[in-house]
Structure 1
């Protein structure tokens, strides 16, 4: 079974084609600058055990045009990997927000698309693009099953005592204001990899997804998310590339009432001008790392603040879980920045968390799970590369298998 995984942005479209018999990526790529001049597609495909690449410089007025080009590449003589686009059995779509209703992976129907549209106010930057991608993919691959995998779905097991805010009940009942959490696909994937690696089916773990967006998740021995750091939107929790993370709401009132900053400008400051960028001058941890090595004080402060925020959540989630067996670092910063892991783990020996500094440095850029804790650590410290696309493919594959199992005869 071949499954195409789609991650649609407002002006980009990432894709990977999986052969589900062995989980290998047959082809992958990204279409960029959709809807503007100077568009291009970077396409890679497997040929005799190695990836070949091709760049196509072409303007794509919309996502429909992008899919036409991508489907053409997939079946082309020089860069193709399948005979006909109908060879694709299913298309798995990343959808950021599924609200309270969609707690599992879903075959896409008109009702599902309507629900995704109705949730746009909760994810205005993501759900519109996800929906555009779904509509365009359905036209490009009309005979494939289309399946939605929701980032929020993994967190549906978070109990009410954790997802409710202490505001009047009507705002939850009428307006659905509550914590939803995000990055669920990544948290689910790396937790599953840790269970396999440690051979512990009752693993209690704290997963730490550190990219330009960042979040943490407490996962109990049943594999259920019971707490997560992002909330109603993706601004809460950890310090991120450009987002502030947790902030006293009084600061927002002060900026609006006393400093006379328009609300839209405050939103822009907290979402696009804060985090690593606001503290250290760049939203790229590699830039902050270089400045740190040069002795830059702001870079040092950035790492200290970044790590301190993570440590606060490690402590809180250890309490929520009544002890953790493992903490897991993943995503761009989590997998590749030893300094970030160092500052996140230092001074946690009272919780049984002790880092091996040499293993931490050598643990960068792993292709498989690696352990970076010292021999005296009671808690495993793992670095596990995330693979959200594979997780989407696996969930779509399970939906397809369930359909076959339930079919008559």
Structure 2
């Protein structure tokens, strides 16, 4: 096992490969410090032809920071969908990579670039173990009542179920909440709201998830930047029959042209809020739909848990938009949620934003999926 020669600690390279970008960090799992972080953009263009070319650029950047292959203990990869079998961090071999490829049928926008990133990393770093961490893994043991679709059993027996996503974030944040409150995680009923360009909610009891908003794919649930979240399945049939769309066109609408973008022409909550302040009616309507959906899930998960000890906001919007947090929680005092407006507007990092007398604690806790992946990967290979 190779140690970092400059810091004396274990180092993990964490890759998050998208269709047009490659995000990377070199992380010390023990300290949580990211020694190097960067992004290669415009993959698939004349600037960066493919993921191999992106890895070359990343490798040059790492060398400029004195990070060589010999200083890496492991390379961890974020993979959105692990299906029914890949339910824990897994050392990647040819069979695992083939299964990630096959699961593109459930995450067509996410798994193919992740697989491409893994292939490139294996080629560039053949002697460094590669570990895949799956966004669905945390939700693998959802209770059957939460995971099962009410479809004929012949269909659901083929693996059609609710898998969830953003599990790496939800698991990390739930543990950070317990540490922040200095309460054993087994004693907490939690609701975690991961609000970013992608958005999801989870209900977690004793450290284990009992509900989550995303389903078979990352399309279900909350309103997102370009995804609508919950839709009547009949609406999709209607669009196929009467909307001049085939399956590829419908997929494009659902993944790329819906959500906040479809309603208001932007995926950025900051731009949306600015437009509302300019009395843009489309922006106000989109914001109302977004907040209403979060409140709907929050109320549902309070019912699923029979009441919660803590509600936590995380990810880009959840961590940085006091206005959205206030909108999601306004008027919920009868449910035990009392927001402290001054706390909500101030501070940074992990913090409490509920009033002292609020029966339900409300927190903001930054997520760190790269650190979570680094720790999972290093634990698996024995660093």
TM-score normalised over the length of structure 2: 0.93
Residue 73 of structure 2 contacts residue 378 of structure 2 at CA under 8 Å; is this kept in 1? no
Task: Name the CA distance, whole Å, in 1 between partners of 2:94 and 2:248.
Answer: 34
Q: What residue number does 2:157 align with?
A: 173
Q: Which residue of 100, 113, 124 maps to 1:140?
A: 124
2:147 maps to 1:163: yes
209 and 257 in structure 1: CA distance in 2 versus 1, 3 angstrom threshold: same
2:191 maps to 1:191: no
Structure 1 residue 400: deviation in Å? 2.2
Q: What residue number does 1:4 align with?
A: 13
2:98 maps to 1:114: yes
- Range 294-303 or range 211-220, more displaced: 294-303
Structure 1 residue 258: deviation in Å? 4.1
SS of equivalent residue, structure 1 residue 119:
helix
Task: Name the CA distance, whole Å, in 2 between partners of 1:317 and 1:193.
Answer: 20
Q: What residue number does 1:37 align with?
A: 46
Q: What residue number does 1:378 align with?
A: 359
Once the two structures are superposed, residues 372-402 of structure 1 have per-residue CA deviations (whole angstroms, 9 ceiling, x without a partner) of 112331111111111110110011121122x
Higher relative contact order (CA 8 A, sep 6+): 2
Residue 306 of structure 1 contacts residue 340 of structure 1 at CA under 8 Å; is this kept in 2? no
Q: What residue number does 1:394 align with?
A: 375
Task: Name the CA distance, whole Å, in 1 between partners of 2:172 and 2:229.
Answer: 24
2:250 maps to 1:266: yes
Once the two structures are superposed, residues 89-124 of structure 1 have per-residue CA deviations (whole angstroms, 9 ceiling, x without a partner) of 100111111011111111112221121122111111
Once the two structures are superposed, residues 169-189 of structure 1 have per-residue CA deviations (whole angstroms, 9 ceiling, x without a partner) of 111113x21111000011111
2:50 maps to 1:62: yes
Q: What residue number does 1:214 align with?
A: 199
Q: What residue number does 1:335 align with?
A: 319
Write out aligned runs for 1:75-154 (5 A): 75=63, 79-82=64-67, 84-154=68-138
Q: Which runs of 5+ in 2 are unaligned?
A: 1-9
Q: What residue number does 1:182 align with?
A: 165
260 and 136 in structure 1: CA distance in 2 versus 1, 3 angstrom threshold: closer
Q: Which runs of 5+ in 1 are unaligned?
A: 39-59, 405-409
2:48 maps to 1:23: no
SS of equivalent residue, structure 1 residue 177:
coil
Task: Name the CA distance, whole Å, in 2 between partners of 1:127 and 1:199.
Answer: 37
C-alpha RMSD of the superposition: 1.6
Q: Which residue of 173, 176, 188 maps to 1:203?
A: 188
Task: Name the CA distance, whole Å, in 1 between partners of 2:29 and 2:192.
Answer: 26
Structure 1 residue 156: deviation in Å? 0.9
Structure 1 residue 279: deviation in Å? 2.5
Structure 1 residue 260: deviation in Å? 4.4
385 and 218 in structure 1: CA distance in 2 versus 1, 3 angstrom threshold: same
Residue 6 of structure 1 contacts residue 15 of structure 1 at CA under 8 Å; is this kept in 2? yes
Residue 26 of structure 1 contacts residue 81 of structure 1 at CA under 8 Å; is this kept in 2? no
Q: What residue number does 1:53 align with?
A: none
357 and 155 in structure 1: CA distance in 2 versus 1, 3 angstrom threshold: same
Structure 1 residue 259: deviation in Å? 4.4
